[in-house]
Chain A
Amino acid sequence: MIKAILIFNNHGKPRLSKFYEHYTEDTEQQIIRETFHLVSKRDENVCNFLEGGMLIGGSDYKLIYRHYATLYFVFCVDSSESELGILDLIQVFVETLDKCFENVCELDLIFHVDKVHNILAEMVMGGMVLETNMNEIITQVDAQNKMEKSEVNQDLTYSLFYLPV
């Protein structure tokens, strides 16, 4: 199971947090801070895995992360997940973001965190990996965005004709 998925930048500012277990908002912020400290002090050339922090999990948990430019992608998982598998999943996630945002950068994540959530929802559901095929993920995300767009157009038509001025 995946316990949490965190994206934060080089300064520890959260860009996305998805917890699959319930914590209070304060705990969540603490977890993010702690994870940032654990991850950011590691060299670039050491492995991408580390044993979990104090707040989340304990001995059964580990952090699997990748560092892309200004962003850290961290998955907190228990022992039922494979380290290499999750590393691969992070790569799929980032590649999917890159496809959906066309050359994704930190700003995309800052302003469109809702879209990032929607993409993530097609990959991981309730802490379990749902889909690892990037094309499949993109197909589903695109289909839903298209639906949304058609609804926006309906709204516009509606407001133009029926809404009181």
Chain B
Amino acid sequence: MALKIVKGSIDRMFDKNLQDLVRGIRNHKEDEAKYISTCIDEIKQELKQDNIAVKANAVCKLTYLQMLGYDVSWAAFNIVEVMSSSKFTYKRIGYLAASQCFHESTDVIMLTTNQIRKDLSSPNQYDTGVALTGLSCFVTPDLARDLANDIMTLMSHTKPYIRKKAVLIMYKVFLKYPESLRPAFPRLKEKLEDPDPGVQSAAVNVICELARRNPKNYLSLAPLFFKLMTSSTNNWVLIKIIKLFGALTPLEPRLVYSCVHVVKYLGLLAMSKILKTHPKSVQSHKDLILQCLDDKDESIRLRALDLLYGMVSKKNLMEIVKKLMLHVDKAEGTTYRDELLTKIIDICSQSNYQYITNFEWYISILVELTRLEGTRHGHLIASQMLDVAIRVKAIRAFAVAQMATLLDNAHLLTGNMQRNGICEVLYAAAWICGEFSEHLENPMQTLEAMLRPKVATLPGHIQAVYVQNAAKLFATVLKSQEGNTDSTAAQETSQLMIDRLPLFVQSANLEVQERASCILQLVKYIQKLQQKDVEIAEEVNALFAGELNPVAPKAQKKVPVPEGLDLDAWINEPPSESESEDEQPKAIFAKEEPKHSRPRHTEVDEKELARRREARKQEQANNPFYIKASPSSQKAVYYKSHKHKIFPPCVLSFFTGLPMSDQYVKLEEERRQKERAEKKKKEKKKRKEKRSGRGKKHDSGPESEEDITPAHQVDIVTEEMPEVNSLDILYFKKSSKHKKKKQKKEKEEKEKKKKKKHHHHHHHSDGGGEESVQNGTVEEEEPLPVSVYQSSARHSVYDIQGNLQDGSQVVVSVIFENKGDSFLKSMEFNVLDSLNSKLQRPDGSGPHDGLTVPFQLPPGVSNEARFVFTVQSIIMPQKLKGTLTFIVKDSSTHEKLDFKLHFTCTSYLITTPCYSDAFAKLLESGDLKGSSVRLEGVNMPFHHLLARICFHHHFSVVERIDSCASMYSRSIQGHHVCLLVKTSGQTVSIDAKCDEPTLLGNVLDEIKQTFSQC
């Protein structure tokens, strides 16, 4: 009885764990102290138990009570007991309790030395870890002295988990036992470069703490720390190192720099992050950030630049840029200078030049930037110049004047041209001067500058622009000179062109050559007319008439598509890919395109052109998308107030921006391209001659007259016709479904069952595309005459194979053979599922999705693809309709081929060997139903007959006696099929038995069919 009570109380006590204690305390809010004191009594009882689990539980509860302010030092010995448990669970509880309540004056600590040492060397890393953690809280000088060596060994432990703890605890050891520092320090220093970032961070941590106490001993480590600071990605390490440098700086002032730099860098980085969300708060520190631009450290300057980008406003833009320009002048090192340059441009051009109030200023900034030598960003400056000149109409006069100066002084820019990217700006300058030549004060001078022989040393694409724009300038000059009725001056100008242009005609650059020769011819013609005293300026100017409108990349979307216009339909046959490289890039010179056709129009009908231009202006005025420049009177006002307006990119309206002729030009161009593609092969040689001849003769434009054949419609028809051969025509007549001209494919069928024994031979007599029905067949859907089949482009063989492992799975391998001479790709195989048979499709695809055939077929190549079907009932044969779609690469036509997959019953049979006794047993069992069939007129040796049945119908011969043989096969669903084949003369009788009469009947029918074809 007494025992029972004791045991019951033990159970209860044992039950009360930490959670119960906490719950109990929460339930006794009124008399918490009283409740806890009873709990402590219980704990004392528990601690008297021998069971370590009970003790550990008690110690765990004590740790909690300690947090609530109860003194638990009386249990110190029990804590040591729990610490010494061999179980990690209890050990951890013990060490936790010790770390919470042990201190230097705790007596029992001296008892722990050996236990701790044992734990430190435990094979279990967590025993060691827990001991280190605990020790870090209650280490005494004695423990430090006794365990210093053990801990030092652990600093080189294989596990980084132990290493980092050992490194960290060394600081505590040093504090309690300073003598250990000297021997341990080399190893500690070594840990600064530990491969594990955690250990590295621990070492930094310890050294930082040490350095705080005695900085001068750690000065020698500064370089190492500096290296760490630049390489480490761990923020903790960075912070600690900065702190350390903070401690070292009083001794080594040079460190202040690096320290301040890191802080500055971090500060700027932080600011740039704040800037994104709260730009205002950063803007007030503008001066500070500008100061950072003077910093020695390049990375700080770059950060400051980043910040400035977000800080500019209309008010401070000019000031900031002015500062930056000063830095550009001072800057050494091209990287930083280039960075400055791009930043200046970024800052100015951001959000559509939002902050620029004076574009004259911006242009002069750009011009100033061109004085930079060796920058890589010439093209950037150039594109800015172009952009501003095109979009800010009011600034054009100023821009043109500046650009003319640039051209005049081109030699300054091109001094060291080869490695000087700045010459790119000449591209912009030449174009602006040419395009807006009406603003030029002295066009003649600029024209001369553009035709200087030195120009020929510029890169090709710039020369090309020079030549083209020289022509524009020429037109302008002519106009002014003719106006003065000074015909000699005009003729002199023409002469200047004729003198200078040949230099460019000889250029190695095709673009330059082409343009120069074209313009040279034109000028020669003009000169001829001039000599006849014909006033030509007006017409020459018409060459370059019309305004160039910048168009936003997305502008086209805003134009509604006119009714009845199908943009997706091909206007002509699509051009072949091979020709695409000949396409002219439609860069800034979008105007070039119409240039072939323009002269014709002007010559033919000057009035008409004027009328159209008027109409266009009218249209533009009415078009809300089209933003016109302010009239000149207004312009002056704007100009004076220095508040230039930015014209947002105009929208290209379908019928406004371009004259109608463009439509033709486009159509014609496409057609010609196509035509060229067709002719290319035949005329390759011819063309080559023509091209090389062009350079010498200087007489042909970019496209010779020959290339342009006027009768487009007829052309297209004739070029198509020859490919349609008589057979195809026949085909067209037969199958109205197919419209494609190259529909000369077909599928043939042939079944080839794999048999282990009869692998070879038995060529089926299915040559010539005749239908031979064997086990499985693919039939062409269209009842086409055989003659069409002769030109078959494709040939397909397939094999249906049941899967023994899975009675409902059938694998169909199809061999695709491309018999035509076109490349076939993007083949997709699809079958119309029946209730019984379904094509297995990948997860996620719909029941009617096709399967991609995983290969392409070059002409004459064949390849095999496998498709898996699930079949429920196998007792009936089945035909599945399917289609194969594919793309014929040469003609880019998408074609379709219908076929039928014939799942015969024999395709569900698997050749299975059977021994005669088993066979006999099977027949005797009486489970099988019988049926028989007679084949007449079979004229072949008996063994051939058997082989044929074996091969085509998957039977194996069980026994053969003279002209009699027994055969066996099994279906994938386990039906037995037994045959007894007898022959006499030309008659073959087959008696068959099977447990599924329907299946048997069908198999026999199929066998009969096989032999009816011989």
Contact = CB atoms under 8 A, between A and B. Distances in A.
Contacts of B103: 22
A126 B70 contact: no
Nearest to A159: B53
Interface in A113-129: 113-114, 117-118, 121, 125-129
A114 B239 contact: no
15 contacts: A22-B104, A29-B69, A80-B243, A82-B240, A113-B64, A114-B18, A125-B168, A126-B133, A126-B169, A129-B201, A130-B165, A132-B201, A140-B161, A147-B88, A151-B89
A131 B169 contact: no
Interface stretch (A12-20, A34-42, A45-53, A97-105): A12-20
Interface in B125-180: 126, 129-130, 132-133, 136-137, 139, 161, 164-165, 168-169, 171-172
A88 B205 contact: no
Contacts of A126: 133, 136-137, 139, 168-169, 171-172
Contacts of A144: 88, 92, 126
A24 to B, nearest CB: 8
A84 to B, nearest CB: 8
A28 interface: yes
B67 A1 contact: no
A121 B137 CA distance: 11
Nearest to B266: A84
Contacts of B132: 125
Contacts of A129: 201, 205, 236
Given A118-B96, A140-B161, A148-B89, A80 B136 contact: no
B64 A132 contact: no
Interface of B: 18-19, 22-23, 26, 53, 60, 63-64, 66-71, 87-89, 92-93, 96, 100, 103-104, 124, 126, 129-130, 132-133, 136-137, 139, 161, 164-165, 168-169, 171-172, 198, 201-202, 205-206, 208-209, 212, 234-236, 239-240, 242-243
Nearest to B102: A22
A130 B161 CA distance: 10
B956 to A, nearest CB: 57
Given A17-B67, A85-B239, A130 B202 contact: yes
B198 A136 contact: yes
A25 B62 CA distance: 13
Interface residues of A, number: 44
Contacts of B53: 155
A29 B92 CA distance: 25
Nearest to A78: B212
Nearest to A80: B212
A157 interface: no
A25 B92 contact: no
Given A129-B236, A130-B202, A25 B70 contact: yes
For the complex of A and B, the 5 pairs showing the least CB-CB separation, nearest first, are A126-B136, A22-B103, A29-B69, A82-B239, A148-B89
A26 interface: yes
A126 B205 CA distance: 12
A161 interface: no
A14 B69 CA distance: 10
A117 B88 CA distance: 15
B168 A114 contact: no
A158 to B, nearest CB: 10
Nearest to A118: B92
A81 B239 CA distance: 8
Interface string A61-84: 000000000000000000011101
Contacts of B22: 110-111
Nearest to A139: B161
A156 to B, nearest CB: 11
A111 B26 CA distance: 11
Contacts of B19: 111-112
Contacts of B88: 144, 147-148, 151
Contacts of B63: 113-114, 117
A31 to B, nearest CB: 11
A148 B93 CA distance: 11
Contact of B168 (A84, A128, A155): A128
B86 to A, nearest CB: 10
A84, A114, A152: which has the most chain B beta carbons within 10 Å? A114
A143 interface: yes
A122 to B, nearest CB: 8
Contacts of B70: 25
Contacts of B239: 82, 84-85
A128 B206 contact: yes
Nearest to B25: A110
A111, A114, A125, A140: which has the most chain B beta carbons within 10 Å? A125
A144 B637 CA distance: 81
Contact of B165 (A1, A81, A85, A125): A125
A14 B68 contact: yes
B504 to A, nearest CB: 65
Contacts of A26: 69
A15 B701 CA distance: 90
A25 B208 contact: no
B905 to A, nearest CB: 59
Contacts of B169: 125-126
Contacts of A59: none
Contacts of B235: 85, 88, 132
Contacts of A22: 103-104
A131 B71 CA distance: 31
Contacts of A121: 96, 130, 133
B38 to A, nearest CB: 19
Given A82-B239, A128-B206, 15 more contacts: A25-B69, A28-B69, A82-B242, A112-B19, A113-B67, A114-B93, A117-B63, A125-B165, A125-B169, A129-B236, A130-B198, A132-B234, A136-B198, A143-B126, A144-B92
B133 A132 contact: no
A20 B66 contact: no
B208 A80 contact: yes
A151 B87 contact: yes
A130 B130 CA distance: 13
B126 A147 contact: yes
Nearest to B23: A111
B837 to A, nearest CB: 50
Contacts of A143: 126
A111 B165 CA distance: 28
A130 B236 contact: no
Contacts of B60: 114
Contacts of A20: 137
A133 interface: yes
Contacts of A125: 132-133, 136, 165, 168-169
A143 B139 CA distance: 26
A130 B243 CA distance: 17
Contacts of A114: 18, 60, 63-64, 93, 96
Contacts of B137: 20, 126
Contacts of B198: 130-131, 133, 136
Contacts of A28: 69
Contacts of B18: 111-114
Contacts of A29: 69
A132 B124 CA distance: 23
Contacts of B209: 1, 80, 128
